[in-house]
Amino acid sequence: MNNSKTQLIKMLIFNKYFFIKLSFMKFFFFKKNSSRRKFKEKSFFLKKYLLDKFLQESHKFFLLLVWFFIQLSPLFSQELDEEEIRQRELELGLRIWVGYHSKDRFEDNLGNYRSNSGINISSYGSLSPFRKNNGIEFFGNYRLYKNWKAGLILGTGKFPSFEWNEYDTTNTFTKLNYSLSSDYLLISASYEWFFKKFSLEFGGGLGVNSTSLDSNGYSISTRREFYDIQGRLLASGLSYRLQTNLNYKVKNNLFLQFGVAGTWHTAPYFAGSLNDKSSSLFLREDGTIGNLITSENTSNILATQSAVRRLDLFYGYLQIYVGSVIQINF
């Protein structure tokens, strides 16, 4: 009888400590998972912040890299004689490219576009991602020395149309189809290394762009109101390019070119028209984007919609291209 009581007491004590240990294990496990989750969230926001800062300041990185490349290029060049300096060469070429655009600040801003704003108005908007684009480039290079070339690049690139949808508390549904394209002209310079049947070159470009953001769609409400929406906004600014090419010799004066490039387009603001009225995209105090109809009383709009500044343009993409080059010697 005593033995059975002793065993029962031991079992109760063991179970008591067992549940205490189990509760401590759950507490520390939850705390550990919570700290891991917070660490992952902080890491995600830190990476997003650093990427956004890099995209904003990448033009400075581009200029620094070009300067560094110019400083190092004499180390790889050979001593030129008078015959090499007299050799002049003109290159004319055409290439087609496909590109990839990652999510950036400009895409986030477009996703925050709101057609209506107000204290008692809330809305939900969604933007379909635009990742792939394509285009064509014409270019010409003039050989300054054996390893140095300078020239012009005239190109255009366009994204497939992408959608933006919004529904707000006024029971209004808005749908827009966007079309984003850029035309650009760059002054380029490159350094070339020669091999037996091919050459490798690295260089960059600096120039200007003209970017258009076209929109067309409609807005419909439960009050049986229907509106067509058509707009065209333009932006002009600077463009930057870093590229590397592989030129494979097919004949004496004919080459196939394969290359990779990174291109960035910038502009201080958008301006154009929306439903035949002069307008511009602007950033509100709450972080949303809206249309500023400049044909109306601008000061009243700024006061009522709390516009902070006009929306600027900054986006870049990675390109892969293939083309052909003809050399003309003289």
- Tell me the pLDDT tens digit for each residue of 48-105: 555 555 555 555 555 555 555 555 555 444 444 444 544 689 999 999 999 999 988 8
Look at domain 85-329 and name its CATH class. Answer: mainly beta
Which DSSP category does 103 fall into?
-
Evaluate if residue 173 carries a pLDDT over 70.
yes
User: Across 26-35, 68-77, 82-91, 290-299, which has the greatest mean pLDDT?
Assistant: 82-91
If you average pLDDT over residues 27-56, what whole number do you get? 53
| CB-facing half-sphere around the CA of 171: CA atoms within 13 A | 5
What is the pTM (predicted TM-score) of this model? 0.73
Evaluate if residue 127 carries a pLDDT over 70.
yes
Sorting pLDDT into bands at 50, 70 and 90, what band is 281? confident
Alpha-carbon distance of 221 to 280, in angstroms, equals 24
pLDDT tens digits for range 199-216: 999 999 999 999 999 999
| Structure-token pair, residue 163 | 């959608």
Contact between 139 and 152 (Cβ < 8 Å) = yes
Residue boundaries of the structural domains of the chain = 1-76, 85-329
Q: Which helix (H) or strand (E) holds 237?
A: strand 226-249
* Cβ atoms < 10 Å from Cβ of 190: 19
Q: What is the pLDDT of residue 159?
A: 96
